[in-house]
Amino acid sequence: MPKVTEKVSQAAYNALVNIVGAQWVTDDAAITESYVKGGEIHDCIYQRGQQPPGVVVMPKDTAEVQKVVKVCFRYHLPYTPIGAFWGVHCGGKVPFHVSIDLSRMRGLEWDERHMAAIVEPGLIHSPLQAEAQERGLYTMTPGGGSQAAVIGNMLTCNYSPLNYRLGLATRRILGVEWVLPDGEVIRLGSLSNSDDPFWGEGPGPDLRGLLRGYLGWWGKVGIITKMAIKMHPLFLPERMKPVERGMLSTLEFPDNRIKWYNFRMPSEDSMRKAMREISRSEIGAAVMRVPTIWRYRGKSTSREDFWEKWGPDEKKIRDSRATSSILRVLIIGYTSAKQLEYEEGVLMQIMDEVGGELGRTKQSDQSWIKNADSAGMWWPAGGYVSVEFVVETLEHSFARGKTLLKEKEAKFTPPLVDEYGEEGWIQMTDMGHTSYFEFLIQWDPENPLGKYKSGEYKAWEHWVASQRTAIDNGQYTANIGSLSVMGLTGPAFGPNYGVIYDQVRQAVDPKDISNPPLDLHDRVINEFAPKWKEDYNFQTWTDLMHGGKEHWKVLTSRGYEWKDCLPEWYWDRDDKEIG
Amino acid sequence: MIVSGSLELKDYMYEMRRCMRCASCKWLDHIYMPDNRFVYRCPSYAKYYFSKVAYGRLKLGLALCEDRLTDTPGMRDMVFQCLMCGACDSGCKRNLDLEVTNSLEALRGHMVEGGRFPQAHQKMIDDIAGSKNRYGAPAADRAKWAPVNAAAKSDTVYFVGCGASYQDQAIAKATDKILGALGGYMLMPGEQCCGHPLFALGHYDAFQKQMEVNMAAMQKTGAKRLVTACAECYKTWKVDYPRLRKISTSDLPFEVVHISELAAQGVKDGSLVLKNKLDLKVAWHDPCNLGRMSEPYRHWEGGRGKWGCLEPANKFGAKEFNRGTAGVYDQPRDLLAAIPGVQVLELKRHHEFSWCCGGHGGVPEAYPDLAAYAVDERLEEVKAVGAEAVVSGCPYCKGQFQAGMAGRDHQVQAFDITELIAQAL
Amino acid sequence: MELKEKLLAIVGAGQAEDSPAVLAAYARDHSLVTAAGLPDAVVWPESAEQVHEIVKLANEIKMPLIPVSSQEHFHGSVLPKMGGIVVDLRRMNRVLDIDLPDRLARIEPGVTWGQMQQEMAKIGSRMVLPLLPLASSSVVTSLLEREVPTNPRFEYGEPMTSTEVIWGSGMRFRTGSASAPGFPEKADSKGGNPEGPGTNWYRFLQGAEGTMGIMTWAIVKFEYLPVMDQVCFITFDDLAQAVEPLYQIQRRMIGNECFLINRQVGALIFNDGTPGSYEALKRQLPPWFVAIVLSGPPRQPEKKLAYEKEALEEIAAAIPAVKRIDSTLAGAVGLEKKLPALLRAPWPAQRPYWKHALKGGCQDLFFIAKMDDAPAYTRTVFETAGLHGYDVNELGVYLQPIEQGRACHLEFQFYYDPASQAAKDKIKALYMEAAAKLFQQGAFFSRPYGLLSPMVFEKARGYTNTIAKVKDVLDPNHVMSPGNVCF
């Protein structure tokens, strides 16, 4: 198949060089080739056919970003902003696009007294947390891991068990500097009146609503060049020390201010009661039910070691799941060591009442201070995606878990990894008002038994099917911001949120140049999986939505077919069973 | 069939496909990341940005294997603006266990086979072929540094290497003194370059020739132990020679040790007494080839089964991964701490995520700007921790530090560890 | 058909009016803003369906709509600036659901603080309130307008989650997780997530003064009532001394309700309404004081109070300006017993509103600031007040720490006689001058009502242009509350 990359016009290229200097622009294919997400992992789910950019440009500051965006606006060049490139949506979908790689913009300033970090888009969580600790502050590292960009993550997910106390990220976003798709720079919150970004909302209606969504725009409404982030006062008199190295490296907890507890709960009902009672008693820093597979993963020294243990334990795990599950609680003495003592006392009292049995656990940063899971998700099988990661209420979490498990076991296991009846990750958020639920699936993308990619197709279908079950059961779902399934969710949620979502985007980005989508999903489904349209009642959103159409016209005018935009492997696969 | 240590690019398709660009190859270990100043582990990325880091090179390798790319004006730089320092590999091994360094080595080999390598490398290749050393100096001058304690016959061979033979003879002399104190040694008759630069540059055929000559010479001595005071020679003898012979390090008929290992053992058992006081705050720089790159090589053959699990072929056990944590790390630190008056400081990037000095991988020859940048960064770290001297265990690191000091406001001393030990004896 | 008839056709007999006598009540409020005239009509819908029809009608006839939820108004937001139909939502005052385990209540916009207080009492719970609001004020409006609660402990999250809104375009829409199909009867979703679908629509409704659409219900958070409280007071001679202790108290997460007021505000809110009570307090209260309520949840409450008190004592010992932690307040006998209940309820309906008790009227000047800057802002206001001949002994000051002391709501209260045009003019001049100076100094007016909006939105031009683009989608005919915010 032809390779769909092409230079932008020489005039536009020269303009970019004039802005950032020749050193910071390239159209060399040896480099642009790697500006797609690797491994056909997340991307197979979210967007078929990411395309390498025609040009990569690396501005150093807001002024350069603004000029680059203005060039893109003038020449009608689609662009894709990139922070750390952790999330798959960083990859451009439109051929010939410009990758605006913001990695040089790694700035980090502090207002310690008012607990704010002012960060640039290339900054990731790890140095933020390291410097925060030096200043008596902390934040949480999200599930995306320490290598996820702070701004990119704040705009989309930013979930962690610590959200039990810290709430949703949306309120942690303070003053923001934002380059709109036409190159105009706007400033949100207190930045609208001064150079101090300490406050995020207003004036008047809160434009942070446009900034962050559930789950956001993925770079479709411009580029954030600066954001102040609310931090939290560190509860420790001294720093947490790194111990061990390599796979086991972690931060050691001092024993009097932060402590993990693992309880074996006799039933799901006792789990519920315990979670409710903990939040009613206003104790705890994190409260969660962790899938068994992550405990096995945590104890393994390699993938092979993991499978050696996990594989034969099916019966043991299924049996124990029927009678018990593990509740994990983190307690922090925010005010003093005595708070930890007090909360521990209350926790034990609750567990006595509901029959929780205390087990062993390591007292170190197993996750969420600096040690979040990051790439480890891909480790057990090579392919991974979170089919669901939704914030709703506790009963919703239990219900969504049961719905997804039922479907996964009935239709998609194998090729998905069998988790022996696991109903997903559940944690309390917002001090128990809400709950976070995550359902992770794993598969082997290189299944050597033939059927190349078949695991991946099933993962994709499971993901599509999961939107259908959400709609059928009135369940909320994290994936409704994804344009790939707009044909399912667009009319159903809101209802008809897809229409105004698209209109707002059109208003902010009239030329449709900021990380534009391509309506590839519909075309892929039409061609390969027409049955899905019937099975899942898929509507085509190509007719509903503005997004992507313009670029489609450009592509066809240059003689490209939609099939040209698919990745090479798509054509090489042996498996034609889909649809 | 998977054969560990293969130098064929197509044997790393799994690695290149399954890299999901998490960038663990670029960022410092997140637990140890000290601040927002020293965040990277990859000097190439830190200097050039874009995707000039392992994930970018793996994607390039994939495109080459899949015939989607042939050549581009920037391809050579993309591949060779890399120090081959292995920092990326230890990052990946924290999560994904992909053989990143091996993939990069194979990519270099692939480029070299196609004749696509920097011309600046050619002189060194020719010099090794001609003069049997990397400098093109007369072969006869190799032992001009005048060893004092060398015997004609010993169980221990001191393999001096090109650096200490020609450029920094103080290291050779200091090593001579230490080995003298530890019971003596012999030199390898007709010592030649170990071939390390050839390997690092991706010229594996030429490297193979050097290996055959050196292995034969070593075996001829009948010695049981080969000692080096050069991290590059050390890695070559310990890892690359057995690797090319498809045997494990433990299967070599002789032991390969770095002088710091030997000396640390000597201090421990009392055969080496460090008595002279040296009031100095020193920072130990972990040379890439003494640390993460020099874990014992364990040859393995097998295949990849369900879930991507590695399944050993007959006679092989489960694959043991080299994750960079089992290099020579403690001994040099213990040694320095044993010198009266010496205070050992830890740099910001240490052990398996140590920052390369910039002297490796053909970079000083082809991309002096990257070599200069890398060492300057390291000297900034030395300054940040407040050390008065930086100490290493490789003549090329020391050479880099000395060169890097030129023009800097903040001056520190640069030593090889052998020099400090010799002073303390 | 006349406008009134059209409205009556939607809402039924007696629920729409256009007589000047009725309309006049909607053309004045407690603010310094002057209405341009009377509205064209007022309508009292009782359901979302009716509101939906009204919005559709307004689009057809291009008539402005002014949604009104509370019964008294302070900011000029509901005054007709270009005529139009006042949509008075007071009949939509149902508490639709109470979800005790999740501590979420779905309520209509006409539900008042007074009403909510009674509902909460029935289930041993409470809302987190701003400082003594009117009992007749709408809970939904208060939360939408981001009125700052006296209890910073619960500020980690959004006070309101999912909502239903009729956008100005006439589209009926549920924001947040209540957007799930079938909500509420046939959905597993309980509406607990404010975000999405897609983007965060609820944010556009905040601080919007009714310019985007009309909310027909909202899900609001409530909390359990503590079982034990202990009130602590710290007194100061001036505001500057209070700043450091407040930073430290908040940073260590001590207590629930916590704020700083001056003697003037204290006298207004703590007097018992009997003759001489206000005057006595005005004489006896300390010039400035911080009130902190330590509270214990149901389990082992005394232990929680003990460690919080100990931490408070540690802070006191380390800061010389803190002479001691008092369990009573000089001049206010028994206040320590009454304060928790006082702060967890609106102002008693039977008494004149505390802000109006002194002179009949009060103009608030409030904004978001850093506590470190509070002394300088206070100086500016006092100096300006002095220049305008305002008696600074009658200037109320209220400092509410927010988000663990990261910032604060700083409020100045100028009391005046609203019947006197001269007094009104004087206060207006003082208010405008002080606001301009504060704005210059960096004060952030996050909800710049009425007279302040031109100053603020003019400076935030890029922001204003962008919010206008969103408005064009949600209210394309600009029927919603024209003249408010920057529209």
How far apart CA B193 and CA C69 sit, in angstroms, is: 87
Residue at C311: amino acid letter:
A
Beta partners for residue A214, in sequence order:
C198
Sequence-separated (6 or more) residues with CB below 8 Å from residue B270: none
Q: What CATH number belongs to A10-101?
A: 3.30.43.10
Give the residue on A whose Cα is nearest the Cα of B64: A30
**C-alpha A165: how far from its chain's center?**
20
pLDDT digit string, tens, across residues A205-217: 999 999 887 666 7
CA distances from B404 to B365, B392, B394 (A): 15, 14, 15
CA distances from A202 to A174, A188, A464, C219 (A): 10, 7, 37, 22
Considering the domain A108-233, what is its CATH architecture?
2-Layer Sandwich (3.30)
CATH homologous superfamily of C361-446 equals FAD-linked oxidases, C-terminal domain (3.40.462.10)
- Pairs across A and B, CB distance < 8 A: 195
Q: By the 8 A CB rule, do C266 and C395 touch?
A: no
Q: By the 8 A CB rule, do A283 and A333 touch?
A: no
How far apart CA C383 and CA C405 sit, in angstroms, is: 26
Say what the pLDDT of residue A532 is: 76
Q: How far is A569 from chain B (nearest CA, A)?
A: 10
3 state SS of C357: coil
Q: How far is A110 from chain B (nearest CA, A)?
A: 12
Say what the pLDDT of residue A128 is: 97
**pLDDT band with cut points at 50, 70 and 90 for residue B329:** very high
Sequence-separated (6 or more) residues with CB below 8 Å from residue C146: A201, C206, C207, C446, C447
CB contact under 8 A, C158 and A168: yes
**C-alpha C44: how far from its chain's center?**
23
Say what the pLDDT of residue C338 is: 95
Q: Do chains A and B touch (3 or more CB pairs under 8 A)?
A: yes
**pLDDT band with cut points at 50, 70 and 90 for residue B357:** very high
How far apart CA B96 and CA B103 sit, in angstroms, is: 14
pLDDT digit string, tens, across residues A361-414: 989 987 778 887 666 788 888 888 888 999 999 999 999 999 999 999 999 888
Those of residues 115-174 in B touching chain A at CB distance below 8 A are none
Burial of C326 (0-12, 13-18, 19+ CB in 10 A): middle
Those of residues 150-189 in C touching chain A at CB distance below 8 A are 154-158, 161, 167, 171, 173-174, 176-177, 179-183, 186-189
Burial of B270 (0-12, 13-18, 19+ CB in 10 A): exposed
Does residue A51 register a pLDDT over 80?
no
Q: Which fold has domain C3-88?
A: 3.30.43
How large is the C-alpha radius of gyration of chain C? 23
Residues from chain A that touch B78, judged by Cβ atoms under 8 A, are: 28, 30-31
**Average pLDDT score over chain A:** 85
Beta partners for residue C395, in sequence order:
C414
**pLDDT band with cut points at 50, 70 and 90 for residue A334:** very high
* Among C212, C459, C473, beta carbon nearest to A192: C459
Considering the domain C95-224, what is its CATH architecture?
2-Layer Sandwich (3.30)
Is residue A203 less than 8 Å (CB to CB) from chain C?
A: yes
**pLDDT band with cut points at 50, 70 and 90 for residue A126:** very high
- Containing H/E element for B157? strand B156-159
Say what the pLDDT of residue A543 is: 54
Say what the pLDDT of residue B285 is: 98
Sequence-separated (6 or more) residues with CB below 8 Å from residue C84: C39, C40, C58, C63, C64, C65, C66, C479, C482
Substitution target in A342, A347, A394, A544 with the highest count of C β-carbons within 10 Å is A342
How far apart CA B154 and CA A173 sit, in angstroms, is: 70
Pick the CATH number of A256-363 from 3.10.290.10, 3.40.50.410, 3.30.70.3450, 3.40.50.280: 3.30.70.3450
Q: By the 8 A CB rule, do B256 and B230 touch?
A: no
Mean pLDDT of C72-86: 94
Q: By the 8 A CB rule, do C157 and A168 touch?
A: yes
3 state SS of A242: strand
Query: How many other C-beta atoms lie within 10 A of the C-beta of residue C147?
Result: 18
CB contact under 8 A, B30 and A56: no
Half-sphere CA count of A571, side-chain side, radius 13 A: 11
Sequence-separated (6 or more) residues with CB below 8 Å from residue C270: C281, C285, C332, C335
Say what the pLDDT of residue A40 is: 47
Mean pLDDT of C460-483: 96
A256-363 matches A380-474 in fold: yes
Sequence-separated (6 or more) residues with CB below 8 Å from residue B386: B281, B345
Q: By the 8 A CB rule, do B211 and B241 touch?
A: yes
CB contact under 8 A, A147 and B97: no
Does residue B56 register a pLDDT over 50?
yes
CA distances from A120 to A62, A123, A141, A227 (A): 9, 6, 17, 7
**Average pLDDT score over chain B:** 96
Mean pLDDT of A14-22: 97
pLDDT digit string, tens, across residues A440-496: 998 888 764 444 456 777 787 888 889 899 999 999 998 776 666 777 888 899 999
Say what the pLDDT of residue A16 is: 96
pTM of the model: 0.95
pLDDT digit string, tens, across residues A20-43: 999 999 999 999 988 887 544 444
CB contact under 8 A, A246 and B308: no
Does residue B321 register a pLDDT over 50?
yes
Does C249 or A321 have the greater pLDDT score? C249
- For the beta sheet containing C104-107, the strands, ordered from the edge strand earlier in sequence to the opposite edge, are C95-99, C104-107, C213-221, C160-167, C172-175
Q: What CATH number belongs to B121-269?
A: 3.40.50
Those of residues 181-240 in A touching chain B at CB distance below 8 A are none
Beta strands in B208-363 (DSSP E): 225-228, 255-258, 280-284, 301-304, 310-312, 342-345
Which ipTM was obtained for this model?
Answer: 0.95
How far apart CA A291 and CA A136 sit, in angstroms, is: 33
- For the beta sheet containing B301-304, the strands, ordered from the edge strand earlier in sequence to the opposite edge, are B2-3, B301-304, B310-312
How far apart CA C432 and CA C454 sit, in angstroms, is: 12
Does residue A577 register a pLDDT over 60?
no
pLDDT digit string, tens, across residues C207-229: 999 999 999 999 999 999 999 99
How far apart CA C31 and CA C414 sit, in angstroms, is: 12
DSSP collapsed to 3 states, A334-382: CCCHHHHHHHHHHHHHHHHHHCCEECCCCCECCCCCCCCCHHHHHCCCC
How far apart CA A416 and CA A455 sit, in angstroms, is: 6
How far apart CA B310 and CA A308 sit, in angstroms, is: 12
pLDDT digit string, tens, across residues B68-84: 888 999 999 999 999 99
Nearest one of C141, C209, C373 to A206, comparing CA atoms: C209
Whose structure tokens read 């793996």?
Answer: B58
Residues from chain C that touch A276, judged by Cβ atoms under 8 A, are: 101
Q: What is the largest CA-CA distance in chain A?
A: 73
Q: By the 8 A CB rule, do C258 and C292 touch?
A: yes
Say what the pLDDT of residue A458 is: 79
pLDDT digit string, tens, across residues C132-171: 999 999 999 999 999 999 999 887 789 999 999 999 999 9
Helices (H), C291-420: 301-318, 335-343, 374-387
Q: By the 8 A CB rule, do B41 and B381 touch?
A: no
Q: What are phi and psi of C269, to 5 degrees?
A: -95, -20
Residues from chain A that touch C462, judged by Cβ atoms under 8 A, are: 180, 184-187
Those of residues 278-317 in B touching chain A at CB distance below 8 A are 304-310
Is residue A304 less than 8 Å (CB to CB) from chain B?
A: yes
Does residue A182 register a pLDDT over 70?
yes
How would you label B328-348 residue by residue, b for 16+ Cβ within 10 Å and e otherwise?
A: bbebbbbbbebbeebebbebb
Q: What CATH number belongs to C228-343?
A: 3.30.70.3450
B21 DSSP 8-state letter: -
Those of residues 101-120 in A touching chain B at CB distance below 8 A are 101, 103-104, 106, 108
Does residue A438 register a pLDDT over 60?
yes
Give me the residue spans of the domains in chain A. Answer: 10-101, 108-233, 256-363, 380-474, 475-572
Pick the CATH number of A380-474 from 3.30.450, 3.40.50, 3.30.70, 2.60.40: 3.30.70
How far apart CA B237 and CA B255 sit, in angstroms, is: 9
How far apart CA C258 and CA C152 sit, in angstroms, is: 7
Residues from chain A that touch C472, judged by Cβ atoms under 8 A, are: 507
Q: How far is B320 from chain A (nearest CA, A)?
A: 9
Does residue B237 register a pLDDT over 70?
yes
Give me the residue spans of the domains in chain C. Answer: 3-88, 95-224, 228-343, 361-446
Give the residue on A whose Cα is nearest the Cα of C105: A433
Whose structure tokens read 């601080």?
Answer: C207
Those of residues 82-141 in A touching chain C at CB distance below 8 A are 113-116
β-pairing verdict for A434-443 and A425-429? antiparallel
Substitution target in B40, B90, B309 with the highest count of A β-carbons within 10 Å is B309
How far apart CA A313 and CA A295 sit, in angstroms, is: 13
Query: How many other C-beta atoms lie within 10 A of the C-beta of residue B314?
Result: 6
